[in-house]
A and B are shown apart, each in its own frame.
Chain A
Amino acid sequence: MNLISLFRRRDSAPVARERLQVLLAHERAFVGKSDLLAVLQEEIISVIAKHVTIERERVQIKMDRGDPISTLEIDVEVPSAAAAAVLSARPALA
């Protein structure tokens, strides 16, 4: 770090460029598939529901678009055995 950069804020244009490159790579790939996350959520819930009783409100799906990799985070709350018993007594939710 030299003296000049001490008095200078970090250039913002390279940040803009990088953010755009990452974002557009994803938007181009997913164009016309904007409901991809909703589809994934439905299918994942139905698979899990075959084996475990779950509440669909307790399933969270998040996507973090990054470069070079993106992450798909699936957070399923599986009730404890007692809660599951109560749940299974009710009509199936999934």
Chain B
Amino acid sequence: MATVIVVTSGKGGVGKTTSTAALGAALAQQDQNVVVVDFDVGLRNLDLVMGAERRVVFDLINVVQGDAKLPQALIRDKRIDTLSLLPASQTRDKEALTAEGVTRVIGELREKFDYIICDSPAGIERGATLAMRHADAAVVVTNPEVSSVRDSDRIIGMLDAKTAKAERGEKIDKHLLLTRYDGARASRGEMLKTEDVLEILSIPLLGIIPESEEVLRASNLGTPVTLGNPNSVAAKAYFEAARRLRGETLVVTVPAARRSFMDRLFGRRAVA
């Protein structure tokens, strides 16, 4: 039984694509058959973050419009063979994405994979609504920052109203993934704390990804952080989030604010 997960946020730049790549890879590393699907038509980036930008031939739009078959467009990851990518089109616009076409493609993907992870574009327009349309569960990526929390609240409202599951009167599972979290700043009262965001959005916590140089390094290299540096704090947080998505109950650890003596001396920002 396949599970369709949308990674969404409303706001741009909070870490949807990075998190899609890391969660997708983490699930694949746990022997699940995973496809990550880029819904950001016209501004595709999942291929780049996954390190597959030079292997794109056909894309989601080609499959939606019947110009290519699904297996022709799927790109199998070279590092881990249970992971595939369905890229977005870079040249077309979002209007090329039709509701019927998306329904058909998601149906075909459900037959091939355990997890279908849809990377939503920012905003609340067509691309974002189609990315969430067939989701069984949603990962709401949020930064501990006012505009991101507000946009996440809006997206949660849309998940409860505009998804196929919601229209059938069923509940869609929503999970909060708090990214770019800086435990030191939160404990100094300079940043919203995890409990603040949880209380405001009132959806269960999937994980806390600390602000980390490993995350930027991973996208620089085109390697999801769980594959490139599996022992880093960020990768461990994504591995745990993936296990929670699979239904395990694990206590969420808040990345501790660790600052070395040298960091303190030079006033460097803590990287948890």
Contacts and interface: CB of A to CB of B under 8 A. Distances in A.
Given A27-B154, A28-B157, A13 B149 contact: no
B157 A31 contact: yes
A12 B146 CA distance: 11
A27 B157 CA distance: 10
A20 B150 contact: yes
B190 A17 contact: no
A24 B153 contact: yes
Contacts of B108: none
Given A13-B196, A17-B192, 8 more contacts: A11-B188, A11-B189, A12-B190, A20-B200, A24-B200, A27-B154, A28-B153, A28-B157
Q: Which of A14, A16, A19, A23 has the most CB of B within 10 A?
A: A16
B252 interface: no
A13 B189 contact: yes
B99 interface: no
Nearest to A19: B146
Interface string A1-38: 00000000001111011011101100110010000000
Contact of B150 (A12, A17, A23, A31): A23
Contact of A16 (B146, B154, B188): B146
Interface of B: 145-146, 149-150, 153-154, 157, 186, 188-193, 196, 200
Q: Interface residues of A toward B: which range? A: 10 to 19
Main SS of the interface on chain A?
helix
Nearest to B195: A17
A19 B147 CA distance: 11
B22 to A, nearest CB: 27
B200 A21 contact: yes
20 contacts: A12-B190, A13-B186, A13-B189, A13-B191, A13-B193, A14-B189, A16-B145, A16-B146, A16-B196, A17-B192, A20-B149, A20-B150, A20-B200, A21-B200, A24-B150, A24-B153, A27-B150, A27-B153, A28-B157, A31-B157
A12 B189 contact: yes
Nearest to B152: A24
List the 8 closest pairs (A to B, CB-CB), nearest first.
A11-B189, A17-B196, A13-B189, A16-B146, A24-B153, A13-B192, A20-B200, A16-B192
B192 to A, nearest CB: 5
A31 B157 CA distance: 9
A35 to B, nearest CB: 17
Contact of B200 (A11, A13, A17, A31): A17
A19 B189 CA distance: 15
B148 to A, nearest CB: 10
A55 B244 CA distance: 61
B78 to A, nearest CB: 43
